[in-house]
Structure 1
Amino acid sequence: MHSLVGRLRERLKSGWRRFFLAAFGLLLLGGCGVGSGGSDSGNGSGAGGGSGTPPEQLSIKLEGQAKYRADEGVSLSYTVSGNSAASATVTYEGPVELNHDAEKKTISGDALLPGTHLVKVTATAESFSAEDEITLFIDANFGGQYGGGGESQFSLTMGRSQVTETDENNYVLTRSGTLYWYSQATDATEFVNLLCVADVEVSGDEALGSGLCKEVVDDQLQVRTVIGLIVTYKETGELGLTYSYEETDESFDVDFSVAGEAYVSPALDLAGIYRSVLLENLDYLNVTQNNISGDSYNLETPRCGITATLSRYDTELITATEGDGSIIPAEAITIDNCDLTSQTGYAVSVGDATGSGQSGLMLILQSGISDSVVRFDLYTRRGSEYTDPLSKLRYARVCYQGAPTSQAAVYGVAESDCEALTP
């Protein structure tokens, strides 16, 4: 009996020791402030120092947009308050690309590399200190034209990502974009054998999304659903593209390098008359800075007439580089009588492009700007109700300011034609 009581006493002592050790550990963790510190959201929350400075004595609050595209300027500001604010000095910790202006109380710079960057400010006055921080989320600027190789020659075009969601302060939460890519045969025909489109959400140096591809398999047009698409930005400016087909479980991995032609100024005058470089007897296009309209001049049957609105990107926020005008979004696209599925080599690139309410991108390919020659690809995508979901058409400017360009003779366009076609 005495032995049993003794064992019970020892167990009770041991249990109490474990209880007090656990409680003491929790008190230590609480004193260390686990999970406290600067804001992990887009905006600084304002804070006193780790020494326990009361906010009424000294505090600092860092504010501003926390999500930027890599070519956009960064702009933050802070306020210092409290009884010791007048004598406080502020130090900055963060990316060297950003400049701290203590007089204006701002942190700013032209651009940062894609990824996350911590910005921290600390105010000190005598024995008091306070700090605040913001994590900047920099999205890669995937917009541009890229090329890749392999058994087929690949080309990828992505429009500039645009803001799709903001918070109550109008700060950016999400940014999305659209990309098109295609491959073409490496033989003399260079016919397009794959054409794809995808919508992606951009986050740092990656973009994730889904889309559609079309190709001809056993002489039949096949439309595939693209899933698990990842676009990866590399510091060299190259892109990696991986995706799978939902229907076949096939996976693809393509590397792209920057392949744009000469820089295109947003101020480039696009106006003029354009002709398809794919086939004869397609409608001419009358292009202005903001619109496209078809003209069936000298055609017995109008074919592939296009109307569209061009909505240029706003370059106001771009500070890292000059705004590039090579890609222009196109909206409210209508294409009439444009079924080229029976034309050798054009079943994939064009297919049946007929339809209204389409959207897309104009990619300007320039050569010989000095003599007013301009070429462009027009990517268009249609709604899910269409069995052929997307197309790519190419045009060259043959008339400029009512006169033939150097390309006019290639397509049999005379000065009299330019005079008749030019409004």
Structure 2
Amino acid sequence: MDKEVFNQGLLEFLSESTSPFHAVQSMSQRLRDAGFERLKNDGDIGPGSTGVFYEQGGSLIALRPGTEALRESGLRMVGAHTDSPCLMVKPNAEQRKLGYLQLGIEVYGGALLNPWFDRDLSLAGRVSYEHGAGAVATALVDFRDPIAVIPSLAIHLDREANKNRSINAQLQMAPLLSLDTQSFELREFLRGHLQARALDITEVLDYELCFYDTQAPAQIGLRREFIASARLDNLLSCYTGLQALLEADGSQWSLLVCNDHEEVGSCSSTGAQGPMLQNFLQRLLPDQISLPMLMQRSMMISADNAHAVHPSYPDKHDERHGPMINGGPVIKVNASQRYATSSDGAALFRLLARKASVDVQAFAMRADMACGSTIGPITAGELGVTTLDIGVPTFGMHSIRELAGSDDAWALQRVLSAYFSHPSPLFAASP
């Protein structure tokens, strides 16, 4: 796959994946199109068998079996996350003030709030409802059209806005839907939307909905050298890992896991700190003793975006560790293990990148600044597997619209494809 085809696919995926549930739906469809099958309870997964995938809420695991016995060959894993900082709709959301209808929100994750003002917003997520037969069913919704906005306060009413304006999420971030209509009730609105799709629905019981910016992802810049989009952190890594898995040669056991809830700590049934991945691996190896042995022969690459050095804020980076956009994927290192990178994992990545003719950069936080984290340390701690944290350089992380390079995701995909096809063993025995 060449770079232009890859980037066009990335833009399409970003546009489709307006919530973690939609990201899983989009990845599942691509896996089915490539011949993967949904995991069956009684299915046997052995060497050379068909690729399988497993969905749970906003998380997904996909596996391509290798040609040799798993216990001897080890498992090559790539991990990413499907969620992004956003505004989630509260259960009793309707707010009526001064003749306007708004919806109450809760901030999900560490969102950069200022860019949310004056954007054309829509709603997407999952709705749970009473099926006509009396059971609970779920359906995904995505309105696509702009149905809301969070208007800014005019500078004439706050002359210090450009110097010192704080944002109160409870009081100032409720999206505006319309002039007040007393007949509007969100659950009824959702029920009408689902009925229009010919679903057998009696009542909407609950929902998980998030607002998102309707501006389409785009390749921009004088030479089209940038990718601008919402949710680059971390759908870019999900798509890159997926394409690498689909293009792997099938010789090695290869796995992609995309977890929900990373932005809020990963502690959930479908998060990296939950049992989803370990349960899946135990399905491959029912013998409990075999899992630690398998992990000794395996590796996890945690793919999550990295902070590019900003030309207007160069002092926010260590001067020797400022990744450049389109300078290649970034190995992320932290002495306090906020990133799980070890020297042997980093060395293997550098070797694979060199073979793929891809440049590699390094990132370490300034010694006087706190460091973020990823699913990498969580997975390493849960499974005891060698783990490497890498990512694509990005501007505006956690903004409603982020910026990455049009070369970098494609370069990372080439390295991950080489990783998925690298012969056993990953690491030679110590002399």
Q: Which has the higher helix share?
A: 2
TM-score (norm 2): 0.19
Q: Which has the higher strand share?
A: 1
Return the index of the structure with the highest Cα Rg: 1
Greater relative contact order (Cα < 8 A, sep 6+): 2
